Amino acid sequence: MPEFVKFNSDKQSVEVPGTRTEGATGHYRHAAFPDGPLDYIRQDPQIKTLYDLFQNSVTKYGNNDFLGHRPYDAATKTYGDYTWQTYGQIDKRVDAFGSGLMHLNSAIMGSTQLNRWPVGIWALSRPEWFITEMSCNYFNLVSVALYETLGPDAVEYVMNHAEIPIVVCSGNHVASLLEISDKVPGMKAIISMDSLQEVPTAPNTASAPQVLRSWAAGKGIQLFDFAEIEALGALHPHKHILPAENEVASLCYTSGTTGQPKGAMLTHKNFIAAVSSNMEFFILSPSDTLISFLPLAHIMGRYIDTLCTYGGMRIGYFKGDINTLLDDIALLKPTFFPAVPRLLNRIYAKLIAATVEAPGLVGVLARRAVAAKLANLEAGLGTQHAVWDRLLFNKIKAVLGGNVQLIVTGSAPIAKEVLSFLRIAFGCVIVEGYGSTESMGTAILTAHDEKKAGIIGAPRSGCDVKLVDVADMNYRSTDLPYPRGEICLRGGHIIDGYYKDEKNTRDAIDDEGWLHTGDIGTVDEIGRFTIIDRKKNIFKLAQGEYVAPEKIENQLASRCSLIQQLFVHGESLENSLVAIMIPEPETFLPFLQAQLGLRAPAITDVAAITTLCQNPKVNALILKELGKAGRAAELRGFEMIKRVYLSTDAFSIENGLLTPTLKVKRPQVQKHFEEQIKDMYADIHATTPVAKL
């Protein structure tokens, strides 16, 4: 089980004397590491690169289970139990696959570039993803992660921008790559993670692999499957080409909400610094198991898998369907569960509905149980309760397999009440992290024994933090009682810049190496940071008040279980905010039935749900609920939603309203719902009394 290092909770970070400058606080460091950021692994200082890291684990844990997956039986159309390969077995596969890549590049494709060339990876999290990326580290190549949900335009852009000659992908993407091959002239080969071996077919018919191979040949593209490249490498072994710590290990393209994605250059040193920063605070061991389902194209999923690899853990991959993730968890019984707020909010909403909001005796007992455990948590008595755990919470723990000891959440804020409830419901440590692709996903983290919700904690051992004035939003480092300003980060985990993009590099990282995050934070008297606003994506209302819509969306969504998606909008000529809301059918329909007595249709009956959304009584009730959530979040008057449009037209990657990392494309959503926004403001004007002169 994970072990947690204990530090002085009364002083979590300190401001380094003599580091204050005009318009900024001094540099804050974790109180246990005041002498400077720690960017190497103290237990294993010889580890400089990802190659070193994995070789260290192979040496220590060679015979231990490492990567697990659930094989699919095509005959029965079912998934089996987890099967495992050891660290030593994966090492041999990495060596073979990497040698196969090298032979393909030089002997078959005729390239004279021996190393530093990019390899694209386009798939969900699975063992072949790890093997491909680690093969790049064995031969000093550069992995380029492609989001599983990227559309053809974005794939085309990244392929051309990074000049990728070989793409390793899941079988479902082979045809997509062949379709755009004319627009991606640099692509010379595709390797399918899924088998392309022929299967018996009816006479005079072509199997899918035959069709794909013929299509690829006609395009002049080399097409192989994963096993073929491994076999090729076994026949033609290559000597490893060791990377240097300051060389780029991977390009991670951030999914911009407006322009084209930017390729963050992640060095080996960045990865090692990220591992170091976390190993100082919790210790993972071979007895631990990770459920890996976060996209490995996203930095959070990648650095967590790297951290667990260093710790000698088992990593079990989900079978690829987020809707059946709990089935995988029930089988795997992980001890470590990384998550994102969107998933935790949905788990919270379902648990609340089944416990404290349940009718009758179940609800009465659940409310008493939750109140008792929350009181214990606030009093510093931990998350366990002898009576209530046995009667109620052990059943809830079983939802995550029963063994989870550590949940890490990040990528967006999570509400205080959600965090507190999940801590006592699962009886485990839940820490909230803060970071971005540019900071390797890790910079600030709450302490494992933190009682207060809503904060993001103290800097990691490898990170300096300072707050810089944002004068036009009236946030200053001299504010009382606590300094406020834009959060800036510096350390070995911060990227050097964006690939082929000097302008955006200069905009993000200043001459002293500080990453300007765009997030507004404050730091309290014991050195804990809290996110309070967002510098980017802000607008000014007619009365001169600045509004950060993302902050409001997060606050409302975490406090109102009826929300699946929310878009808050305001304009400089208007005094108030309006919103587009996509209801969560699982909670929305029972709520309407209970409150209005309306007959609830099936959650799959989109037409019936759309009709309910257009009902004025339903709209008025939802607006009232948004008001309750806004008051609970202590939103200011001008931050409250005055009109809402309910729709079943969900924001998605397919309709261009979400990025591959599920961030809202604000200009596109505004354009998509342009008429509804106009109508809401027209209704506000029509019903607002005209002030007398």
Strands 282-283 and 3-4: antiparallel
3-state helix, strand, coil in the chain (%, to 5): 40, 20, 40
List pLDDT tens digits, range 210-253. Answer: 999 999 999 999 999 999 999 999 999 999 999 999 999 999 99
Q: Do residues 70 and 114 share a domain?
A: yes
Among 369, 392, 507, CA closest to 438: 507
List pLDDT tens digits, range 617-652. Answer: 999 999 999 999 999 888 889 899 999 999 999 998
Among 410, 328, 319, 337, CA closest to 124: 319
SS3 category, 630: helix
Whether 445 is covered by a domain: the verdict is no
497-524 average pLDDT score: 95
SS3 category, 9: coil
DSSP 691: P
Q: How many CA atoms, within 13 angstroms, populate the side-chain half-sphere of residue 38?
A: 22
Strands 65-69 and 83-86: antiparallel
Which of 221-235, 335-349, 435-449 holds the top average pLDDT? 221-235
List pLDDT tens digits, range 444-477. Answer: 999 988 877 778 999 999 999 999 999 887 899 9
CATH of the domain at 636: 3.30.300.30
Q: Do residues 132 and 228 share a domain?
A: yes
Q: Do residues 213 and 94 share a domain?
A: yes
Among 28, 458, 490, 61, CA closest to 280: 458
DSSP 105: I
Q: What per-residue confidence (pLDDT) applies to 661?
A: 64
Whether 408 is covered by a domain: the verdict is yes
Q: Containing domain of residue 391, as a range?
A: 337-402+404-434
Asked whether residue 522 carries a pLDDT value surpassing 90, the answer given is yes
Whether 257 is covered by a domain: the verdict is no
List pLDDT tens digits, range 574-607. Answer: 889 999 999 998 889 888 988 988 787 888 888 9
664-688 average pLDDT score: 90
Helix (H) or strand (E) holding 463: strand 463-468
Q: Do residues 82 and 195 share a domain?
A: yes
Q: Do residues 559 and 611 share a domain?
A: yes
| Percent of the chain clearing pLDDT 70 (strictly above) | 96
Q: Do residues 550 and 624 share a domain?
A: yes
List pLDDT tens digits, range 354-386. Answer: 888 888 888 899 999 999 988 888 877 778 888
Asked whether residue 691 carries a pLDDT value surpassing 90, the answer given is no
Whether 368 is covered by a domain: the verdict is yes
The count of domains in the chain is 3
Among 676, 524, 620, 562, CA closest to 14: 524
Asked whether residue 258 carries a pLDDT value surpassing 70, the answer given is no
Q: Do residues 669 and 591 share a domain?
A: yes
Whether 156 is covered by a domain: the verdict is yes
Whether 17 is covered by a domain: the verdict is no
SS3 category, 252: strand
| Mean pLDDT for the chain overall | 90
Q: Are 428 and 421 in contact (CB under 8 A)?
A: no
List pLDDT tens digits, range 541-572. Answer: 877 677 888 889 988 987 888 999 999 999 87
Q: Do residues 301 and 229 share a domain?
A: yes
Under the banding of pLDDT at 50, 70 and 90, the label for residue 256 is: low
Q: Do residues 294 and 373 share a domain?
A: no
Whether 269 is covered by a domain: the verdict is no
Lowest mean pLDDT of 45-54, 458-467, 662-671, name the range.
662-671
Q: Say how far apart CA 557 and CA 682 lie, in whole Å.
A: 26
Q: What per-residue confidence (pLDDT) applies to 576?
A: 92
Strands 429-434 and 406-409: parallel
Q: Say how far apart CA 643 and CA 575 lie, in whole Å.
A: 12
Whether 515 is covered by a domain: the verdict is no
Structural tokens at position 36:
């400077």
Q: What per-residue confidence (pLDDT) applies to 692?
A: 34
pTM for the structure as a whole: 0.84
SS3 category, 551: helix
Under the banding of pLDDT at 50, 70 and 90, the label for residue 259 is: low
For residues 206 and 46, the model is more confident at 46
